[in-house]
Amino acid sequence: MQKQQADCTGTSVERRSFLGGAICALTSLIGGTLAVFGGKYLLGTPHEVSGAWVDAGEISNLQGGSPHEITFEKSRSDGWKIHNERATAWVILNNSSITAFSPLCTHLGCAYGWQASQAAFVCPCHGSKFAADGKVISGPARRPLDQYDVKIEGTRLWLGPLKNSQAS
């Protein structure tokens, strides 16, 4: 007498075959689920919610002429979680034009500050200096300050994606 064997492709309806098929189906379901979510985790989503525009506040809070550091909230994704975090930008309002710089030095990423006495952004880490238009006055930084895309809606300033500057 020949014994029937259960496998994933078998068509036997005997109890052992049915259980074997159920186990194969369950294993395939678990494997498929792990593959989908594992792949999604490994490939990931961008850390910063890409292309998102962020409300950076009232324009009336900005003073014309000298750079002004503003704070705002932006979203960052971490796996499936979205975190809101505090961010800053240096904003200059000149007549009707607005420029917003990333707060990080283009040399090695330190936070720089505006020094009114030197009329320049000065980085405390290695001494780079940038003009009010973001251009390098002195290194070691070689690239101008990175800028955000900006737009105004009503009375609110919106910051878009950060554009990396090119060395001049």
Q: Binding residues for ligand FES, per CB under 6 A?
A: 105, 107-110, 123, 125-128, 140-141
Looking at the Cβ atoms of 91 and 105, the one nearer to ligand FES is 105
Residue 8 C-beta: closest distance to ligand FES, Å? 59
Looking at the Cβ atoms of 49 and 110, the one nearer to ligand FES is 110
Distance in angstroms (rounded) separating the CA atoms of residues 89 and 77: 20
Looking at the Cβ atoms of 25 and 111, the one nearer to ligand FES is 111
DSSP SS3 for 105: coil
Residue 127 C-beta: closest distance to ligand FES, Å? 6
Residue 43 C-beta: closest distance to ligand FES, Å? 32
Looking at the Cβ atoms of 40 and 135, the one nearer to ligand FES is 135
User: C-alpha distances in angstroms, 42 versus 17, 31, 38, 57, 69?
Assistant: 36, 16, 6, 35, 36
Residue 36 C-beta: closest distance to ligand FES, Å? 42
Contacts of 153 (CB under 8 A, 6+ apart): none
User: C-alpha distances in angstroms, 27 versus 5, 21, 32, 49?
Assistant: 18, 10, 8, 35
Residue 105 C-beta: closest distance to ligand FES, Å? 3
Distance in angstroms (rounded) separating the CA atoms of residues 161 and 38: 29
Do residues 136 and 121 make contact, with C-beta atoms less than 8 angstroms apart?
no
Looking at the Cβ atoms of 30 and 108, the one nearer to ligand FES is 108
